[in-house]
Structures are given as C-alpha cells and as structure tokens.
Structure 1
Amino acid sequence: MDLISVSAGYLVIVFFLGLVYLCLGAYWFIEAAISISLRFEVPKLLVGSIIMSLATTSPELMVSVISVLKGQVGLALGNVFGSFVANIGLVLGVAGLIRPIKVSYIIIHRQIPFMIAALMVLVISSLGPYIEMWEVVAMLAGLVGWLIWLVCNVQGDEGIPDMSLDCAWWVTVVWFVMGVASMQWGSGLIIASAESLALVFGVKPYVVGLTVVAVGTSLPELASGVYGAIRGESSLVLGNVLGANVLLLLLVLPVIFLTSSTHVVLSDKLFDYLFMGLTSVFLWLFSMGFDQEWEINRYEAVIMLSVFGVYQFLLLR
C-alpha cells in the first residue's frame, strides 16, 4: 500500500484502522486459543504462558515480519523492544492498579529469572559486530527448552480457567482463521501508515516502532491483562506477560534475524536494554515483595507505569 503522498491526518486514520483490525483479530485469536485450552483442560499458568502469550504476541510477530520484508528492520526491532517494556510497565502497571496481582512461587523463582536470563543472553550477543547464526539457533533452542520445561513442570493444581465453553468446534476454527487474517491485514495497515508518518514528521522508523507501534501491538496484552485483573486471574495475567516477553526475545527476534537480508547490528541498543532490564528487575523485586506478601500492589504498579512513562518521554523528546 502506497501512502507516501497522502496527508498526515489520513495516515493517522489508517494507522488506527489497522489497530482496530489488529485488536479485533487478536480478540478472535485469543478466544480460539482459550477455547482450545478449555477443551483439553490446560492449567491456568500454561494457558497464560503459552496459549494466550502466543496469541497476544502474534501482532508483534506479524508486524515485525512484514516490516523486515519491506526493509524496515529498525521498525521491527523497535516494536520488539518497545513491546517488552510496555508489557511490564504498561500492562502490569494498569492491571496492578485495578487489583493487586498475586504472584506464585513458580513465577518468582522460575518464570521471571528465565526472562531476565534470556534478556542477558541477548545483551551479551549484542556486544558482537552482528547477530550470528549460532546465536539465533541458541535462542530458538532456549525457547524449545522453556516450552518443554513448562509443560513438564506446571502442575494441574494451578487450576483450569474459570470460563464457560459454550461454542461448537467449528466456531473455534472460524475465530482462529478470522483472527489470523484480521491481524495480517491490520499489520499491513500499521506498517504502511507508520512508515509514511515517520517520513512526514522526520522521525526514525526505529523510534516509531519503540513508541506508537509497540504500544499498539501491546494492546492485546493490555486487554487480556485488564480482563484478567477484573476476574482476579493473576496466573493468567502474569503468565501472559512473562510468556509474551520470552516469545519476543526467543521467537520474534530470531525470526527477524532469519528473515533480514542483511546482518542485524544491536550494539547501539543499550539504552533500550537498560529500560528492559530495569522493568524486569522491578517486576522481580515487587513480586517477591518487601512486605513478604508476594504480590504487586497498587503503589508498585504506579512505579512500573512511571518507568514506562519516563521511557516513552525520553524516546520522544
């Protein structure tokens, strides 16, 4: 879609239209994923960590792949790094304001440390001249190992999601297909409009990816986070966010590296790594709790939202 010659106002409309398609597609996709999980009685933490996170990360994956194929690697990388910070600072911040988020032992001692370890591996890999193939393979291997560990170690006593299953199997299939198609169409609109807006306002595509596109593609996580907080489903909320961030690091980034026609250099992304690490450490500390309650309370949620706000301000100033 060629939007280079149209007005900025029209580009904004196209961008938000793309977000509507993207979020609608993500909603259908999430409904299909949860429906499948209920049929097979999958525990809550697995639903959030694998099924819902795969569904809610699909917009980031779609946007990133289309961006790379169009030669906008910076936009794809910005989308990944910005979404990582938004998932913790924005999504958990808003969810924690609605209701304090209870944190289980496995999340504190296994899930969060693994996410931080994956981030540290990325930072170390970025110190080289470019990301090499063996590093991509190592990331994908880490993802497979994480998925196998989750399936083998998360016990059924986490409980099955408290949701009703009142649809036929063919409805689930329709939701799934419509969700994928809608997300693909929405991603195309977002990329085309964001690319043109960057040219109109003289903003680097990487910054557009870190801010507007990242927040836009994190809306499915935000929607599921708000829904889960209202329902008091802390395992779903945290599992979704942590799972999505692991997928961003160990699935979406490797896909970007593999589809890019040129070597991807990350040695200049230390500013973004700083905030990715800061939000991750805050999440770990708040989860353990200075009050020994193992929950993210409203005061801590405000701090996480503030860190996200500072990050966005520094990017756009």
Structure 2
Amino acid sequence: MILACVFIVLGFFFLVKGADVFVDSASGVATKLGVPTLVIGLTIVAFGTSMPELAVSVTAALEKANEIAVGNVVGSNIFNLLVVGGLSACIYPLIVNPAIMKRDWPLSTLAAGVLFLFLLPDLTISRIEAAILLVCFGFLLYVQIKHTKNETEEKKEEHRSMPKLLLLLVLGIAGIVIGGKLTVEGATSLARILGLSETLIGLTIVAIGTSLPELVTSVVAAKKGENEIAMGNIIGSNLFNILCILGISSILSPIHVETTALMDVGILTLISLGFWFVCKKFSLDRRVGSIMVITYVIYMVYIILR
C-alpha cells in the first residue's frame, strides 16, 4: 500500500510539471507556425493527454479485459466533460469558442450516440464498426484543421526557438504519460488492495487516473487564460477517445461488454447533449461548472451503488 501511494504522489508530480510545460510549449509552437491555438487544443494537446487512455484501452482489449477497455474511455469522457470542464470553469470562467459549440461539441455528442447504437444490438464493437470509427476520426481531423486554419487571432510574439519548443513539447508529453502511468498503477493497486471490482476500477480509478492529464492540462490552461486550449482539449480528447482509441482497440480485438457499459454510454450521450444545451444558453461560468461537478458526484454514487 505504501508503494502504491508513492506511485500516486510521483504520478501527480510528473502530471503537473508535464502539463505546465506542455501547455506553454504548445502555445509557443502555435504562435511560431501561425496556427490557431484552437487547432493545437483539438489535436496535439488532446492527443498527447489521451495517450494514457490509448495505452490502457489497447492493452485491456488485447488481454480481453473488455470492461476496462470501454469503461476507461466512457468513464474518462464523462470525467473530462463534468470534472475537467467543471473545475476549469470554477477556477476561471471559460469562453467557449463558437467553433466548439457549433461543430466539435455536437460531434462529440454524436460520436457517443453512434457508440451507443453500435453496442445496442449485441453489446459488441466489431472490426467493421471499429473501421467506421477510425474513418470518421480521420475525416473529422481533416475538417477541423481545414475550417480553423483561416481563423484570425490576436498575434503573439514567441522568442524561443522552434527546436527548443519542440523539445519542451516532447518533454511535456513524456511527463504526462509517465505521470498518468504511475498514477494509474498506484491507484489500481490501491483499489485492489481495498477489494474493489475490475468493472468499478475501469469506470473510476482507471478512468479518472488516465484523465488526470486532461484535468491538469485544462486547469493550467484556464489559469493562464488559454481558453481555447482548456475547452478544446476536453472536447478534442473526448472525440479522440471514442473514435480513435476504441477504433484501434476494437480493430485489434473486437470488444464485447456487459449491459452496464451500454447504460454508461447512454448516460455519456445524455450528459454531453444536456450540457451542450446549457452552455449554449448560459456562459460556462462558476455556477455551471459547479453543477457539472455535482452531476459527476451523483454519477459516481450511482455506479458504486448499482
């Protein structure tokens, strides 16, 4: 138990330092290349912080630990939206880019709905369905970059050289991945010592642990006023998790799940749709952020008691 706690503490250290370096260098690279920070948030930052989910879900699928593979993605997406988004808004009210509200958030909700429809008939994600997810991911990435590269932003100056920024970017990703791995391993060991089931571990400990990079990255970005990266990271990660991570995992080994997983995907779809409507009508301020966090607490109580 002591070793597990040491892993968790070290994991948090690497996550915090890695996320701080990563957000800073990602903004620098965006400035150097003349790319909107929204694109960086939706791609490099989102993918980098989703690497722990990718590693966990692919490994779980290959080892036939299907509940962990799907529970990790679904649990991470719910955590990203409600806790990462909610806490970021509580720390610093977020201004959500219109492109996210009009295109990316609805697409994230649609992706969850498509996953629900894939699981509904036989509780299985087949290789054909996985291929559809990956094709959708490739097309989405193309559309996002095409539609955002012409957006105008306030020009910023970046004095660091590109090699230095790229080195910092790689170091940031390494810190995030190492931190996520240490945290998950420590938390999973601790959970098993305490006698929790693997299904619950997949939806809670593993999902939250692999989402800690998103949490730290978005909170750091929010504190620095990088709103595009904060919210772009959340929505980009959720799209990446469903379309790319489950796509790759199911291509390698078709995933079959229990009925509870279908219920969780349905909850994810409803939560995504519900808070999209809320954020269209109201700004993503501390009040809405608090409601999002409370909603997650209610969901946690539900999955523990069911």
TM class by shorter-chain length?
A: 0.7 to 0.9
Q: In the superposition, relative to structure 1, how do residues 121 and 193 fare at CA in structure 2: closer, same or farther (>3 Å)?
A: same
Amino acid at match of 2:241: L
CA contact (8 A) 2:89 2:289 kept: yes
Structure 1 residue 315: deviation in Å?
2.5
Paired residues, what number? Answer: 304
Q: What percent of counterpart residues are identical?
A: 28
Distance 1:173 1:153 in 2: 25
Cα offset, 1:54, TM superposition: 1.4
Check 1:61–1:88 CA distance in 2 against 1; reply closer, same or farther (3 A cut): same
Whether contact under 8 Å (1:66, 1:187) holds in the other structure is: no
> Which amino acid counterpart does residue 57 of structure 2 have in structure 1?
S
Identify unmatched segments of 5+ residues in structure 1.
Answer: 1-7
Letter in structure 2 aligned against 1:265: V
Equivalent position amino acid for 1:175 in 2: L
Corresponding residue number in structure 2 for 1:137: 131
Note closer, same or farther for the CA distance 1:63–1:53 as it changes in structure 2 (3 Å cut).
same
* TM-score of the aligned structures, taking structure 2 as reference length: 0.86
Regions of 4+ moved over 6 Å = none
The superposition leaves residues 270-303 of structure 1 with CA deviations (integer Å, 9 ceiling, x where unpaired) of: 33123312321232112211xxxx6223221111
Report the 3-state secondary structure (helix = DSSP H, G, I; strand = E; otherwise coil) of the residue aligned with 2:213. helix
Stretch of structure 1 that moved more, 61-70 or 297-306: 61-70
Shift of 1:106: 2.3
Q: 2-side partners of 1:150 and 1:34: how far apart?
A: 18
Gaps of 5+ in 2: none
After superposition, give the CA deviation of every residue in 1:206-265 in whole Å (9 maximum; x if it has no partner).
Answer: 3112212222222222223223333443332221111111001101111222334x6433
Larger CA deviation: 146-155 vs 213-222: 213-222
Q: Does the CA-based 8 Å contact 2:67-2:261 persist in structure 1?
A: no
1:306 is aligned to 2:298: no
- The answer to whether the Cα contact below 8 Å between 1:282 and 1:304 also exists between their aligned partners in 2 is no
Written as runs of structure 1 = structure 2, the 5 A alignment for 1:42-191 is 42-69=35-62, 72-129=65-122, 130-159=124-153, 162=156, 165-191=158-184
Residue 5 (structure 1) aligns with: none
Question: 1:286–1:155: structure 2 CA closer, same or farther, 3 Å change rule?
Answer: farther
Instruction: Give the match for residue 288 of structure 1.
Output: 280
Q: 1:63·1:187 contact (CA, 8 Å) conserved in 2?
A: no
Flag the 1:177–1:43 CA change in 2: closer, same or farther, 3 A.
Answer: closer
- d(CA) in 2 for partners of 1:187, 1:118: 25
- Cα separation, 1, equivalents of 2:223 and 2:16: 19
Higher mean Cα deviation, 274-283 or 126-135? Answer: 274-283
2:239 alignment partner in structure 1 = 246
**SS at structure 1 position matched to 2:125:** coil
Q: CA deviation at 1:184?
A: 5.0
Q: What is the root-mean-square deviation of aligned Cα atoms in Å?
A: 2.7
Maintained 8 Å contact 1:62/1:187: no
Asked if residue 276 in structure 1 is aligned to residue 268 in structure 2, the reply is: yes
Equivalence map 1:249-268=2 (5 Å): 249-260=242-253, 263-265=255-257, 267-268=259-260
**Which letter maps to 1:208?**
I
CA contact (8 A) 2:214 2:233 kept: yes
Which whole-Å CA distance do the structure 1 matches of 2:213 and 2:98 have between them? Answer: 26
Deviation at 1:63, TM superposition (A): 3.0
Q: 3-state SS of the aligned residue for 2:260?
A: coil
Show CA shifts across 1:21-69 (max 9, x none): 4554455554554443332111122121112211221222233334445
Which whole-Å CA distance do the structure 2 matches of 1:231 and 1:177 have between them? 20
When normalised by structure 1's length, the TM-score is 0.83
**Alpha-carbon distance between aligned partners in 2 of 1:98 and 1:206, rounded to the nearest angstrom:** 32
